[in-house]
Structure 1
């Protein structure tokens, strides 16, 4: 029996496509800063501009046919105004510099905010817009950039899945002053967006390990939560429970003789000598769920433990993160969940 020959998978590429890719990447390299100059700035008539050009052509043909001197005057006057508009539109973007702040992490399916700053070393710039290439002109965010000044723009996008995602192309454009021409440039940011697993809504409790602690032994005036006490000099800022402290500040305080002379203190989670208050969040505790649902439940547990101020650790197959608290530990746990692969 003859063997079937399996051909390697390949894709046809035009001979000039490599040159085109090299040209494109040279003019638009990946960077979190970009400067709009002659080599990466383009301009074409807009839809009203195309209609304007067609009108000029009809006026010119009518003037030639009927030998109308005033027709020539009107045609060339309007053409001169169009050329001046084209020059002003191109100059409105040329020389601008833009930089992107590293985006904060977001959850899958939720908005990710891009904070972009525009720097102008020349005169006043009007109607500078920024949008995603697949968006419509109505989705463009516009701003005016003052002379010798700065301005900010914010864009929102979302990623449906967790992971480390490259940011999409951004389109910078302007149609100032008459809207007859549109000047634009494309920007490829180099920043990587961290997209965490979306926490499960109404996730069950993780089974905290501090069940043996007696209730009602907290600091006087701080409720029945054990291990809470006022902030003392020398405590780490990572121990401060900011949400609970804000809730305490919102409550009415005694005018005098109370805690801190009537002012609610910052609340701190006491680090116990034993490990009774620590809890481990284990991937094996979520068996029976789809893999992405398991990560969502772990993300909810991490978020809940961080807000409660209880030290927590994370076990993910061969990797473990020791119990701790604070933004750095929270970020390390969420990044570990983000990069975890689905395998047997």
Structure 2
């Protein structure tokens, strides 16, 4: 097992050094490899036995069958190689990606030669069993989502991508390796059980005060109004409902006059990565609640706002925040 892992790692390093990282790539004869599969080697052995038997017993039908199968195998080799040659690969737009969590890596497959591409299998070197399959129509495109788990936040280089095909007979494996050039921005891993959002206060406060104010955040930070069927259940004040039996919902408009500021001091954590993880969880929570919130990171100030674009800007700032020396 250890020797196999070392050989696999050496092979991956060799392939990465051989293939220059590119934004997109169009496959040609220099980047497409072909070898017989196990079934292909068995077919070759069968053809050899048929040929020897036909020569030994002077079987004309044996000659016919041998050369017919050999011709089919040669035709399959050329068709399989042409199935990948001319294929265009590029990274597609990827959804939010968090460190330590499985994230889809979108690979777009394009074709411009007027030939359909069949039975394409795509995976990353990190996921030996994570094959994704696609057919590309003539003059068309297709996309696949590959399994990828980035280990750290920041701009991360995607892993090597392997594209292969056994088309048409399964007797030859045709494959290529591509190293995407464009880095993927990986956000910090959100803290799994983060404390409630801090009170909208510009000054840091003690842990006890933070806990007390956070407990009351759902009622103080939001106005409450009678629930309407169009509101859904996400904003329902369940504690109020448990006490009074009255179904009320949080009114995010009540937060407009008191925007929430988030910074490293409010997390109460000394470890930078843990603090960024908590801030990430808070940003996601504030976005889900539709709050106006701002972010302070060192000299960076993101003014209070709401919406998906503001959330992505805050998460990007957290992802790109400098690491501690020696980390």
Q: Report the TM-score, using the length of structure 2 for normalisation.
A: 0.73
The CA distance in 2 between the partners of 1:160 and 1:246, in whole Å, is 38
Which of the numbers 116, 122, 128 marks the counterpart of 2:120? 128
Counterpart for residue 324 of structure 2: 342
Q: 1:167 corresponds to which residue?
A: 158
**Any idea what the Cα deviations from partners look like across 1:90-131, whole Å, max 9, x if unmatched?**
122223223321322311122222233333342333211211
Deviations along 1:290-326, one digit per CA (max 9) or x if unpaired, are: 4322221111122222222332232334444333333
Distance 2:106 2:100 in 1: 19
SS of the aligned residue for 1:148 comes to coil
Q: Please say if residues 104 and 194 of structure 1, whose CA atoms lie closer than 8 Å, have aligned partners that are also in contact.
A: no
Counterpart of 1:294 in structure 2 is: 275
Q: 1:245 to 1:302 in 2, by over 3 A?
A: farther
Q: CA RMSD in A?
A: 3.6
Assess if the C-alpha contact under 8 Å between 1:127 and 1:144 holds in 2. Answer: yes
Q: Structure 1: how far apart are the matches of 2:68 and 2:79?
A: 17
1:51 matched to 2:42? The reply is yes
Deviation at 1:283, TM superposition (A): 1.0
2:37 and 2:170 in contact (8 A); partners too: yes
Match of 1:330 among 299, 304, 311: 311
Q: How does 1:224-235 map to 2 (within 5 A)?
A: none
The 5-angstrom pairing of residues 110-125 of structure 1 reads 110-121=101-112, 122-125=114-117
> What are the equivalent positions in structure 2 for 1:172-321 lying under 5 Å apart?
172-209=163-200, 218=223, 221=226, 247=232, 269=253, 272=256, 277-288=258-269, 290-321=271-302
Q: Relative to 1, partners in 2 of residues 1:321 and 1:139: Cα closer, same or farther, differing over 3 Å?
A: closer
Contact kept? 2:157, 2:183, Cα under 8 Å? yes
Contact 1:126–1:143 at 8 Å: present in 2 too? yes
Question: 1-side partners of 2:89 and 2:104: how far apart?
Answer: 16
- Contact 1:101-1:115 at 8 Å conserved across structures: yes
Cα distance, 1:41 vs structure 2: 1.7
**The structure with more helix, counted as a fraction of residues:** 2
State how far apart, in whole Å, the 2-side matches of 1:250 and 1:286 are: 24
For residue 92 of structure 1, give the secondary structure of its aligned residue in structure 2. helix
Q: CA deviation at 1:284?
A: 2.2
Distance 1:183 1:74, change over 3 A: same
Q: Cα–Cα, structure 1 residues 119 and 149, in superposed 2: closer, same or farther, change >3 Å? A: same
- The CA distance in 1 between the partners of 2:259 and 2:142, in whole Å, is 46
Deviation, 1:270, is 6.1
How many residue pairs match? The answer is: 283
> Which deviations, in whole Å up to 9, do the C-alpha atoms of 1:257-283 show, x marking residues without a partner?
xxxxxxxxxx873675xxx51222221
Give the structure with higher Rg (CA).
1
Q: What residue ranges of structure 2 are gaps of 5+ in the alignment?
A: 1-13, 202-212, 237-250
Q: CA deviation at 1:178?
A: 0.7
Q: 1:41 aligns with which of 32, 36, 39?
A: 32
Shift of 1:64: 4.1
